[in-house]
Amino acid sequence: MKEDFQRLIENVEKCHSVEEAEKLLYRSIDTPKLREAVEFGKELHKGQFRKSGEPYIIHPILVAVIATYFTRSEPVALASILHDVVEDNPNVSVYDIRNRFGEEVANLVTGLTKISALSKEMGASEKRLKSALNFRGLLLHSISDGRVLLIKLADRLHNMLTLGAMRPDKQKRIAEETLVIYAPIAHRMGISILKNILEDLAFKYLLPEEYKKIDDYLTANWEKFKIRLNNFISEIKPKLEKNGIPVSQIRGRIKHKYSIYQKMQRKGISIEEVLDLLAVRIILERNPLECYRALGVVHLNARPLIYRFKDYIALPKENGYQTLHTTIYDGKSIIEIQIRTEEMDKSAEYGVAAHWKYKEGGNFKVPWLEEIGVGVNEDVEDFYELVKNDLFSEDIVVYTPAGDTVTLPRGATLLDFAYKVHTEIGNRAVEGYVNNEKVPLLTELKTGNVVKIVTGDEPIPRCSWIELLKTSKAKFYQTKLCRKRERALLEKVGFGILKGIFGVEDRLLRIAIRKNRLCNLIPKIPKNRKTLEDVVKQIYPTLKKFKRFYFKKIQLREIQIGNFLFYTNHQLEGVSFSYCCHPKFGDKIVALLDEKGRGAEIHHFFCTEAERRLDKAVYVEWHQEKENRYILMVNLENRRGELAKFLNFLTGFGAFINNLSLSEETNTCQLEITLEGKKAEQLKKRLEEKYRILQFTSKKDAYNG
């Protein structure tokens, strides 16, 4: 199956003429309507060429070849051929497609066209926003029909196969988008062969040196690996057959390059130190029970690494994946073994598309897309941040008290579980139990846990928890609750700041605000110094008219104390911290006057203790220095020149190295660096692409100045 796909991709790569592309397509699927669509596409794309110089029509034909490998469906083939027609030809509309090729094809083309249109709206200087828009459009238009995703993945794969004709900067941008958007989507759809090839192609363009290093090592050791795999297969196959286990086939393979690179980064090791490069897949005929018998035979004839065993037959992944995973040591090699039936194998390779293969009409929905759809109305970049964790993460499976299984991303908490079960259970969760033991709602869950949630009467915003949650649904609904709470708090803080400046009773201050029609500006005061100045200037004359108050001129001034900038008429002399909320550098904060009125107490903006005293609020913001200090800890390969290469990379990025310490025992390097604050996130991202980062934190927070 995988070998068939690899042969298909090799044929696609060698295809450089329209005639060759058509032959390849008609070998897969051939109908009169499809031939009509090809001729229609050839006519409309006449005179259009790709960067390689080849006629453009080759691209949509080959997209159809790739897509129909997964589902031999005429509508999918037609939509693949026509996916760029409406976008590239102003004289052709979706209405024309509907009249000529039918409603189903027109709907697929509409989804694909809208995705491309979103992507092209953005300018070159807005690459991140462009990717986020593309991402949201891709998911939004696939919720009702997952075949849109399949065609888009086929389109992306052919673009990656022909990426060599692009400029280097464009190669990297497309490769990065492939790695962070398209490969994870293929993973969530369960289409492993598509995910693996997309990852390896993106890896090749993004990190060519690292790719070559792994590729050279695998090529140099290929014969040795092949002998080890063949030896294991020749030993285990007769033993399975002797026990009456109906073996369909046994396949050996070397893991794909990007997964090897990820393991190297995760463990901080070199390619030579990766022990489990080899994998064997044992495919049985029909009965899932035979998989467990086969597992017994494997374990009796080799030493199993029990901590690596996973049963995805009893506990399938959310995308339907079912396989027994085990890892063994046979005295010579560590080998990962996967055992499954032919039906499970088809599902593992084709994912959700396995159920579409010869299906016409009916339901083509992808279950996890419907859940992701909760945040589609969010800001595009917020939506991207919300959802991407759901795409990237590995899964765990936990149980409800009734015995139902719930699939969650690794690292998910009880609150994530609550939202997965039902939105209102998440909103109103007050306590939780794991295996009948009461635990905090932020406790990380493990596969096999039995989880119970107790709810209260009212929704509870937990604003400081949002970054600790793992699922997009939990983050989305908690963000929604917190925005509502933030609006109410901003009004209270704004009013408190004004009350502290003027020192008047609430009633008179409210009269002055209403008289000057400033109600809408009060919630903006805590976030904007200019708004504070404007409101003070407008209110001051009104308050002076009250006879029992005589105001001297209000003189606001800036006071810097440590990491904080205050703007007030109080004589502040210092700051203190209440340890009820532990604000960190960059968090949303509120400052409250202490009892003597000479100092400010710093709290997290959403601190419940601070909320009781917001009438004592003082305007505060973080003092942003041009340069900040950061603690960086990284795992480096133990080889000549690696440290020098790493330090050159840092200094080339503009980082000044204040001090450095090395640990030969753990191959770690710890540094304190000085860097422009605006470059920190960019550096962190680049480092994570090349090295295993153990720590990257600012030295500034509310407790260390």
Residues 176 and 206 sit within 8 Å (Cβ to Cβ): yes
Helix, strand or coil, per DSSP, at residue 40:
helix
Distance between CA atoms of 137 and 117, rounded to whole angstroms? 9
Q: What are phi and psi of 448, to 5 degrees?
A: 95, -10
Question: 191: closest CA among 59, 70, 18?
Answer: 70
Beta bridge partners of 618: 591
Q: Output the CA torsion sign for 63, 64, 69, 70.
A: positive
Q: Find where tokens 């003082």 sit.
A: 618
Residues 137 and 119 sit within 8 Å (Cβ to Cβ): yes
Question: 257: closest CA among 204, 187, 326?
Answer: 204
DSSP assignment of 515-553 equals HTT-GGGGGGGGG-HHHHHHHHHHHHHHHHTSTT---PP
Distance of CA 617 to the CA centre of its chain: 38
Helix, strand or coil, per DSSP, at residue 249:
strand
* β pairing state of 278-284 and 334-341: parallel
Residues 158 and 198 sit within 8 Å (Cβ to Cβ): no
- How many CB atoms are closer than 10 A to CB 172? 17
Question: What does each C-alpha distance from 440 to 408, 414, 429, 692 come to in angstroms?
Answer: 18, 8, 11, 30
Distance between CA atoms of 438 and 461, rounded to whole angstroms? 21
Check 36, 54, 88, 382 and give the catalytic one. 88
Task: Return the CA Rg of the chain.
Answer: 30
In 267-404, which ranges are E strands? 278-284, 303-304, 310-311, 324-329, 334-341, 395-399
Helix, strand or coil, per DSSP, at residue 340:
strand
- Annotation marks residue 88 as catalytic: yes
Q: Find where tokens 């090529």 sit.
A: 219
Rounded to 10 degrees, the C-alpha dihedral 380/382/386/392 comes to 70
Distance between CA atoms of 419 and 443, rounded to whole angstroms? 15
Check 20, 54, 87, 215 and give the catalytic one. 87
**Which residues lie closer than 8 Å to 331 by C-beta, 6 or more apart?**
302, 303
Helices (H), 15-57: 18-28, 32-44
Distance between CA atoms of 638 and 692, rounded to whole angstroms? 13
DSSP 443: P
- Annotation marks residue 210 as catalytic: no
Question: What does each C-alpha distance from 336 to 192, 254, 293, 333, 403 come to in angstroms?
Answer: 16, 10, 17, 10, 30
Catalytic residues: 87-88
